[in-house]
Amino acid sequence: MVSTSFTSSHRYGEQGEVFFNDGRELELLQRIFSQPPAELSKLRNNPRGILSFIDNFATQKYLMNVGELKGKHVTALLRSQKPSLCVELGGYVGYSTILFGSTVAEYSTPSNPARYYCLEYSPVFGAIIMALIDLAGLSDVVKVVIGSSTDSLNRLHGEGALKGGVDFMFLDHNKPLYMPDLKLCESLGVVRGGTVLVADNMVKPGNPPYHRYVNLSPEEKKKEAEGKAGAERGDPELRYENKWIESWEPSAVPDALEVSRCLGRV
Ligand SMILES: C[S@@+](CC[C@H](N)C(=O)[O-])C[C@H]1O[C@@H](n2cnc3c(N)ncnc32)[C@H](O)[C@@H]1O
């Protein structure tokens, strides 16, 4: 499914030179919670309503969210695959966390509970996500973890929270960390046969080292991994089947997602 034109109902403002961490994220939170009680109550347990509020805010002040168009591809994938254990790297103000977490909540049941971890580096952004996840009524399914993705992945793995490996991972954090964090997950067995990775911003700004890595054959990776161990080595024997999905940033700039299904050691 390739969108050939920008058809979103919201077009975000221009990114500009300073486009985050200038107070706009707390301004968003303040605007949401300072609404009259009747308006605010309409957003309670209403992920769609909160996403729409965030989209409207971002038409005036750009926010670096995955947005409606790329988001649709990911929610379609979640609905068809129904992953139980999901991890997102980079949550910002919680747009993707609310969108994907609410999709996971659709099929999560008490007898077969799904869990969506959001790993966010910034304590301020993490606190915003927690407040909005609570407002959205998604706290049973979504857990926000503050800290660097690498530390949090190691810690969650050590605590057994990622036992058996994750079914779905959304990579949308610091671009140079996509490949090292993937290799860390491979070395820990957190990424294994059956894991589906979705990497955002593969065109804007692009991520050649990650793209190259998931497209290398095990033979090529084994050669490159010679003499390396642990997270630096990853698991070179894992093979991925990759799909490139062209879409749009919410500011109408072309972008793409790369979906990589881990086939295991084949
Ligand atoms: C593009 S934004 C994420 C947007 C979000 N996924 C969405 O679509 O709504 C990138 C986020 O990654 C976070 N980040 C950057 N480096 C990180 C790291 N090492 N670990 C976890 N989060 C990180 C940033 O603080 C920022 O909030």
What average pLDDT does the chain have? Answer: 96
Question: Quick one: which of 68, 62, 72, 166 has its CA closest to 119?
Answer: 166
The CATH number of 64-264, from 3.40.50.720, 1.10.10.10, 3.30.70.20, 3.40.50.150, is 3.40.50.150
Quick one: which atom of ligand 1 is closest to the CA of 99?
9
- How far does residue 119's CA lie from ligand 1's centre (Å)? 8
Average pLDDT over residues 165-182: 98
Stated pTM of the model: 0.97
Task: Write out pLDDT tens, residues 6-55.
Answer: 988 889 988 889 999 999 999 999 999 999 999 999 999 999 999 999 99
Task: Write out pLDDT tens, residues 174-207.
Answer: 999 999 999 999 999 999 999 999 999 999 999 9
For 36-72, letters b (16+ CB in 10 Å) and e give eeeeeeebeebbeebbebbbebbeebbbbbbbbbbbb
Q: Does ligand 1 have an atom closer than 6 angstroms to the CB of 98? A: no
Angstrom distance (rounded) from CA 105 to CA 113: 9
Q: Does ligand 1 have an atom closer than 6 angstroms to the CB of 120? A: yes
